[in-house]
C-alpha cells in the first residue's frame, strides 16, 4: 500500500509531510534518506494511532501533482484495516481472542505494526469479526 506524501526541498535536505496523516512529519538530507525516513514515520504513526485506539486514516487513492507515493507494507495495511474494524465494531482484543481461539499475547503481536504476521492470520482475524479481507491489483 502507498500513502501520498509531499517532499519539499529545503536548504539542508527535504521535509516530508502526509496530507492523510498530519502528525507524520520527517526530513532527510537527500531524497533516498527522506524516503527512508518517510517510510519509518508512516509506520511509527500507525503504532501511535493503534496505541491511542484511534482509526488510522486510509490512503487517498489520488496522487496530487506535488506528491510521491510512500510505501507501507501490505501486511501493515491489512492490520490497519483489521484494527479500524475492531474499533468501529467496539470489539476488544480479548473479544477477538475468544472469537478466533488465538491466545491474547498472539493477538497483541497480530496487531503490532512492526511484528511480521502472515496475511492468512490477519485474514482469519478479519473473518472472525464477520468481514472479508480482499486483495486486489491495480
Lowest pLDDT segment from 14-18, 56-60, 77-81, 88-92? 56-60
Q: Residue 99 is inside which H or E element, if any?
A: helix 93-100
Closest to 133 (Cα-Cα) out of 67, 79, 56, 60: 79
131: which strand partners?
Answer: none
26, β-bridge pairs? 16
* Nearest to 80, CA basis, from 115, 56, 54: 56
Asked if 107 contacts 100 with a C-beta cutoff of 8 angstroms, the reply is yes
- Note the pLDDT of residue 66: 87
Mean pLDDT of the chain: 94
Q: Which DSSP symbol is given to 117?
A: -
In the predicted structure, residue 107 carries a pLDDT above the cut 80: yes
User: Can you give the pLDDT at residue 135?
Assistant: 83
- Whole-prediction pTM: 0.91
Whole-angstrom distance, CA of residue 23 vs CA of residue 115: 22
The residue-averaged pLDDT of 98-116 equals: 95
pLDDT digits (tens, 9 = 90+) for 35-81: 999 999 999 999 999 999 999 999 877 899 889 999 999 999 999 99
Q: What grid cell was written down for 38? A: 518517510
Is-contact 13 33, C-beta < 8 A? yes
Of 120, 124, 128, which is closest to residue 95 (Cα–Cα)? 128
Query: Looking at residue 121, what is its pLDDT?
Result: 94
Backbone angles phi, psi at 73, to 5 degrees: -55, 140
Is 3 in contact with 23 (CB distance < 8 Å)?
Answer: no
Q: Give the bridge partners for 6, in sequence order.
A: 17, 67
Amino acid at each position: 500500500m502507498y500513502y501520498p506524501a509531499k517532499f519539499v526541498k529545503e536548504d539542508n535536505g527535504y521535509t516530508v509531510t502526509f496530507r492523510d496523516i498530519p502528525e507524520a512529519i520527517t526530513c532527510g538530507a537527500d531524497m533516498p534518506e527522506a524516503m527512508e525516513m518517510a517510510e519509518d514515520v508512516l509506520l511509527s504513526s500507525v503504532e501511535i494511532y493503534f496505541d491511542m485506539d484511534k482509526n488510522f486514516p486510509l490512503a487517498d487513492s489520488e496522487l496530487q501533482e506535488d506528491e510521491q507515493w510512500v510505501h507501507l507494507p501490505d501486511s501493515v495495511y491489512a492490520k490497519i484495516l483489521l484494527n479500524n474494524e475492531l474499533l468501529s465494531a467496539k470489539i476488544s482484543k480479548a473479544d477477538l481472542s475468544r472469537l478466533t481461539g488465538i491466545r491474547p499475547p498472539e493477538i497483541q503481536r497480530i496487531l503490532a505494526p512492526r511484528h511480521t504476521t502472515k496475511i492468512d492470520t490477519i485474514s482469519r482475524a478479519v473473518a472472525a469479526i464477520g468481514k472479508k479481507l480482499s486483495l486486489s491489483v491495480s
